[in-house]
Chain A
Amino acid sequence: MDTFVILRRSGWRSGEELQEAAARSTAEGERMPEDIRWIRSYVLEEADGVGTVCIYQASSPEAIRAHAAAAELPIDEIVRVADTVVVRPDPQPAV
């Protein structure tokens, strides 16, 4: 599996909507464990709501799109990750 960054800019009106989307994302991801693994997401503060930058491992960009269609998640752009440089661990998540 390759690692991908998925941009979902201004995808939701509120954090509550995003949480619902996250639940759907998990449910659909469990249906295709050989094709997709959600690693983590950064929630973006946007002028009109919230967006995300998501890190996934996936067998193909098509698997990411199939997952997004099933879980009703928007996709602005999918970029493949060439390498990972971890300087410090992520800051403590809010939840």
Chain B
Amino acid sequence: MAELLEREDLLAQLGALRVDGGRLVFVGGEAGVGKTVLVREFTARVAGRVLQGSCENLTTPTPYGPFLDVGVPTEGEPRHVAAALLRGLERTRLLVLEDVHWADEATLDVLRVLGRRIESTDALVLATYRDDEVDGSHPLRVVLGELTSAPAVSRLSVPRLSLGAIGELAEPHGADVEAIHRLTQGNAFYVTEILAAGDGVLPETVRDAVLARAARLAPDARLLLDAVSVVPARAELWLLEEVAAAELEHLDACIASGVLRADGDAVAFRHELARLAIESALKPHRRRYLNAAILAALRPAGDYSRLAHHAAAAGDSAAVVEYATEAGRQAAAASSHREAAAQYASALRHADGIEASARAALLDAYAEEAHVTGLYAEAVEARRAALDLYHALDDPLREGYTLSRLTIAYIRLGRNAEAEEASRGAIRLLETLPPGRELACAYADQAYARMLSRDNAEGVAWGEKAVAAAAALGDSTILAYGLNMIGTSYVMSGEIDRGVEYLLQSLDVARSEELEVWVVSALGMLGSGLGEMVELELSERFLRECITFSEDHEITPSYSQAWLALVQVYRGRWEEGARLASAVLARTPDPISRISALIALGRLRARRGDPGALDALDEALESARPGGHLQRLGHVHAARAEAAWLAGDATRTVQEAATAYPLALEKRHLWFAGELAYWQWKAGALDDAPEWIAEPYRLQLAGDAAGAAAAWRNRLCPYEAARSLADAGDEGALAELDALRARPAAAALRRRLGLRGPRDSTRGNPAGLTARELDVLRLVAAGKRNADVADELVVSPRTVDHHVSAILRKLRVRTRGEAAVAAAELGLLQDR
């Protein structure tokens, strides 16, 4: 096999991973580099059964596509499919998933679970993907990003062939090795195709090479190849009998020539690149004809994604509407929301002829899936189209409900005036009808809009209407929603205990009725709301609970993680805060989560004196602006005022703080009004602030620095506590600021006191050992091996080797045992 040159290293690595087991390995490489060939060779060498599935290059992939062949039930939620798969992997210890860059959303969710749970099994899972196609916004990239921290997940890269390997392959053909290398850049599939095409003239592209090779087949064999080329992945033999019976006798010739390969009861191109080359060379009418024939043959089988694909390619609009709608329903049921939205969109594009009520229903279905996927602008557009239809159909209930859904979509887009109009419209319309779920929901939506604007009293009032209506209907979802809004509004007004009580009630309802989304929402609101009110200990507890619950239920907890980053920054745990914020930013495009993570990072960089504070806070401001909500703008402008102050720019400090201050006063936000007043006061632009602002700021502005510092310590904010003392020129603040490595604040205080700064130091104690060397020594003295020490300290084993030799040198001993004895004699083993 040509592509197997230069692959022994990779095969050996895979072999070692299989022996260890409990691993998910992503095998990456460009199309045609030889990933599949590598994995096939590996599975062929392994004794025992192998589970295999592959993702198909359909316009919109089938939910759980690759698992259909694996023999697990592929219905319901991804975590259930993943659980069944993990059970299956106890018996069959090897699973190969091909081409996961084409995977549907539900399959990617299963991969997420596998990545986190595979460690508990003995199995090896290999997932191949085209790494050059997985760019910034690709869904697989998001999964890969999330799994980078999972210890049982790794990546393997299949490299291109070297000049030497090409020489070896080309030698029997007497071909021009250098020219082939230049042309193919070492792409194994391309090299093979060129050598198979023969003919002296080198084909300029892979496509040319494939076509040259196919051109050597008999004309009827080529017709068969055409039919196979319009079937993504693999063409079943029974299907070919239906659509290309006359040419089927040439199948053996196609296989013998190496263009096709047999695959059980089906045939497939040797590579997807070859299929695409042949398909792209088809005349349009012939492609339509073949797709129509395949559509007719596939109808009884009822695979809706496949049918929708061929219906679209055959230009059969009625069939597209029918099958894409069904495929969308199936995808939505499997939580493949991206695919569901794509199927409904495709149905809508072909739905010109259908009647109004059916079209409105299709628009509803599309808007729902678009919303879940985060395509809010598209959801708005679809809802508005549906709105016109329901109005024309004189269906006020559906019209009112659509307005209520539109409210939420507008809120997500930060289009608050339109959200308000839609919300009022929904209530007005639905109040003319007998009370029902739609009206209760519209009340809760209005409470949500008021809560977000921090109009807390109104948030409570509308929330109570929603709760009363929901209770009368016995609707637990809207009950949980309404209680949540009341509780959050109370928290934001500073009535912490009362707010927490309502939120816990909402949590209870959600838990007992298994409303996962509302469990996450209640925990998230408790965490973020208490964080905004600087109740950090309680906030952290709920955030951690939210993250754990979310992960157990396969919900990505970006917002809670971003808030936890902020809480850690405020608590002085800066490394942890940096790690969490960076992880959120690397993973999520969701602006709401990003804003919190960016504020955490911006504050951190400013406080450390590191570059890039403004980069982070510029993006945060950009994302916060459309909504115009105090909860984001107040927070962002406070952080920007702080960064400006620490950069020595008093003018900008005042500008930033003054921008959001009036809004914070209007909404009576204790903490934002407090911090924004503080920065203006510090820059000399404000003399006093209302009495009701948060206590530490009130004390600070009243000139009681020691009282403010004590209040900050009670709130678990060491940096703010030290800053209060530093404001009063208290030298006692230096130790805390140095320990936090808060360079700008410490430097400013030293300048004021006429002191010289110390250098940052990792220098050792009198015995000559650094803090980290002492950590290593304690573990070594406890009998741990270097590898265990490395795991425990989260550093490379080589770093531990270096530490151990430094310890031996400094203690003037030769062995680890002697080091332990010397350490004990010097009294170095006590805990610090």
Dominant SS among interface residues on chain B: helix
Question: Given the complex, which residues of A lie within 8 Å of B353, measured CB to CB?
Answer: none
Question: Given the complex, which residues of A lie within 8 Å of B805, measured CB to CB?
Answer: 20
Inter-chain contact A76/B802, CB cutoff 8 Å = no
Question: Given the complex, which residues of A lie within 8 Å of B575, measured CB to CB?
Answer: 65-66, 69
**Residue in B579, B612, B770, B798 whose beta carbon sits within 8 Å of that of A66 in the complex:** B579
User: Per-residue CB proximity of B553-583 to A under 8 Å, as 1/0?
Assistant: 0000000000000000000000100110110
Inter-chain contact B796/A62, CB cutoff 8 Å = no
Inter-chain contact B760/A75, CB cutoff 8 Å = yes
Question: Given the complex, which residues of B lie within 8 Å of A27, measured CB to CB?
Answer: 795-796, 798-799, 802
A60 to chain B, nearest CB (A): 7
User: Per-residue CB proximity of A44-71 to B under 8 Å, as 1/0?
Assistant: 0000000100000000111101100111
Inter-chain contact A74/B759, CB cutoff 8 Å = yes
Inter-chain contact A72/B743, CB cutoff 8 Å = no
**Residue in B608, B611, B762 whose beta carbon sits within 8 Å of that of A11 in the complex:** B762
Q: Say yes or no: is B609 at the interface (Cβ < 8 Å to chain A).
A: yes
B770 to chain A, nearest CB (A): 6
Q: Say yes or no: is B830 at the interface (Cβ < 8 Å to chain A).
A: no
Inter-chain contact A20/B795, CB cutoff 8 Å = no
Inter-chain contact A62/B802, CB cutoff 8 Å = no
User: Per-residue CB proximity of B777-805 to A under 8 Å, as 1/0?
Assistant: 00000000000000000111011001101
Name A73's closest neighbour in chain B (CB-CB).
Answer: B762
Question: Given the complex, which residues of A lie within 8 Å of B609, measured CB to CB?
Answer: 77-78
Question: Given the complex, which residues of A lie within 8 Å of B601, measured CB to CB?
Answer: 62
Extra A-B contacts (13), CB below 8 Å, given A61-B610, A62-B601: A11-B761, A12-B763, A20-B806, A27-B799, A27-B802, A51-B759, A61-B608, A63-B582, A65-B608, A66-B578, A69-B575, A73-B762, A78-B610
Which positions 1-38 of chain A face chain B at CB distance < 8 Å?
A: 4, 8-13, 17, 20, 23-24, 27-28, 30-31
Inter-chain contact B759/A76, CB cutoff 8 Å = yes
A residues sitting closer than 8 Å to B (CB atoms) are: 4, 8-13, 17, 20, 23-24, 27-28, 30-31, 51, 60-63, 65-66, 69-80
Question: Given the complex, which residues of B lie within 8 Å of A17, measured CB to CB?
Answer: 806
B254 to chain A, nearest CB (A): 43
Question: Given the complex, which residues of B lie within 8 Å of A30, measured CB to CB?
Answer: 796
Q: Say yes or no: is B286 at the interface (Cβ < 8 Å to chain A).
A: no
Given contacts A20-B802, A24-B803, A61-B605, contact A78 B578 (CB under 8 A): no
Inter-chain contact A74/B762, CB cutoff 8 Å = yes
Inter-chain contact B795/A70, CB cutoff 8 Å = yes
Q: How far is the CA of A13 from the CA of B770 in the complex (A)?
A: 12
**Residue in B581, B608, B770, B794 whose beta carbon sits within 8 Å of that of A70 in the complex:** B794
Q: Say yes or no: is B772 at the interface (Cβ < 8 Å to chain A).
A: yes
A62 to chain B, nearest CB (A): 4
Question: Given the complex, which residues of A lie within 8 Å of B581, measured CB to CB?
Answer: 62
B442 to chain A, nearest CB (A): 44
- Pairs A-B, 6 closest by C-beta atoms: A27-B798, A80-B611, A61-B610, A74-B760, A72-B772, A62-B578
Given contacts A65-B578, A66-B578, A80-B611, contact A72 B796 (CB under 8 A): no
Question: Given the complex, which residues of A lie within 8 Å of B803, measured CB to CB?
Answer: 24
B residues sitting closer than 8 Å to A (CB atoms) are: 575, 578-579, 581-582, 601, 604-605, 608-612, 741, 743, 759-763, 770-773, 794-796, 798-799, 802-803, 805-806
Given contacts A30-B796, A65-B578, A66-B579, contact A80 B802 (CB under 8 A): no
Question: Given the complex, which residues of B lie within 8 Å of A72, measured CB to CB?
Answer: 762, 770-773
Question: Given the complex, which residues of A lie within 8 Å of B761, measured CB to CB?
Answer: 10-11, 74
Q: How far is the CA of A45 from the CA of B773 in the complex (A)?
A: 25
Given contacts A60-B582, A72-B772, contact A28 B612 (CB under 8 A): no
Name B806's closest neighbour in chain A (CB-CB).
Answer: A20
Which of A51, A62, A65, A70 has the largest count of B CB atoms less than 10 A from its CB?
A62
Inter-chain contact B796/A28, CB cutoff 8 Å = yes
Q: How far is the CA of A24 from the CA of B743 in the complex (A)?
A: 25
Q: How far is the CA of A11 from the CA of B601 in the complex (A)?
A: 27
A35 to chain B, nearest CB (A): 9
Inter-chain contact B796/A23, CB cutoff 8 Å = no
Q: Can you give 18 A-B contacts (C-beta < 8 A)?
A: A4-B611, A10-B759, A11-B761, A17-B806, A23-B802, A24-B802, A28-B799, A51-B759, A61-B605, A62-B581, A62-B582, A62-B604, A65-B575, A69-B575, A71-B795, A77-B609, A78-B611, A80-B612
Inter-chain contact B796/A77, CB cutoff 8 Å = no
Question: Given the complex, which residues of B lie within 8 Å of A63, measured CB to CB?
Answer: 582
Question: Given the complex, which residues of B lie within 8 Å of A10, measured CB to CB?
Answer: 759, 761
Inter-chain contact B802/A77, CB cutoff 8 Å = no
Name B585's closest neighbour in chain A (CB-CB).
Answer: A60
Question: Given the complex, which residues of A lie within 8 Å of B799, measured CB to CB?
Answer: 24, 27-28, 70-71
Q: How far is the CA of A79 from the CA of B609 in the complex (A)?
A: 9
Inter-chain contact A79/B795, CB cutoff 8 Å = no
Question: Given the complex, which residues of A lie within 8 Å of B771, measured CB to CB?
Answer: 72
Q: How far is the CA of A27 from the CA of B793 in the complex (A)?
A: 14
Inter-chain contact A31/B796, CB cutoff 8 Å = yes
A53 to chain B, nearest CB (A): 13
Inter-chain contact B578/A77, CB cutoff 8 Å = no
**Residue in A13, A77, A79 whose beta carbon sits within 8 Å of that of B763 in the complex:** A13
Which of B575, B772, B799 has the largest count of A CB atoms less than 10 A from its CB?
B799
Question: Given the complex, which residues of B lie within 8 Å of A60, measured CB to CB?
Answer: 582, 612
Name A5's closest neighbour in chain B (CB-CB).
Answer: B611
Question: Given the complex, which residues of A lie within 8 Å of B578, measured CB to CB?
Answer: 62, 65-66
A4 to chain B, nearest CB (A): 7
Name B772's closest neighbour in chain A (CB-CB).
Answer: A72
A11 to chain B, nearest CB (A): 7
Q: How far is the CA of A77 from the CA of B743 in the complex (A)?
A: 8
Question: Given the complex, which residues of B lie within 8 Å of A80, measured CB to CB?
Answer: 611-612
Question: Given the complex, which residues of A lie within 8 Å of B802, measured CB to CB?
Answer: 20, 23-24, 27
Q: How far is the CA of A9 from the CA of B762 in the complex (A)?
A: 11
Name A27's closest neighbour in chain B (CB-CB).
Answer: B798
B279 to chain A, nearest CB (A): 36
Q: How far is the CA of A78 from the CA of B799 in the complex (A)?
A: 23
Q: How far is the CA of A31 from the CA of B800 in the complex (A)?
A: 13
Question: Given the complex, which residues of A lie within 8 Å of B798, measured CB to CB?
Answer: 23, 27
A38 to chain B, nearest CB (A): 14
Question: Given the complex, which residues of A lie within 8 Å of B772, measured CB to CB?
Answer: 72
Q: How far is the CA of A76 from the CA of B757 in the complex (A)?
A: 10
Question: Given the complex, which residues of B lie within 8 Å of A8, measured CB to CB?
Answer: 760
Q: How far is the CA of A63 from the CA of B578 in the complex (A)?
A: 9
Name A29's closest neighbour in chain B (CB-CB).
Answer: B796
Name A31's closest neighbour in chain B (CB-CB).
Answer: B796
Q: How far is the CA of A6 from the CA of B467 in the complex (A)?
A: 57
Question: Given the complex, which residues of B lie within 8 Å of A23, measured CB to CB?
Answer: 798, 802
A73 to chain B, nearest CB (A): 7
Which of B601, B772, B796 has the largest count of A CB atoms less than 10 A from its CB?
B796
A49 to chain B, nearest CB (A): 8
Name B604's closest neighbour in chain A (CB-CB).
Answer: A62
Question: Given the complex, which residues of A lie within 8 Å of B741, measured CB to CB?
Answer: 75
Q: How far is the CA of A31 from the CA of B578 in the complex (A)?
A: 18
Question: Given the complex, which residues of B lie within 8 Å of A9, measured CB to CB?
Answer: 759
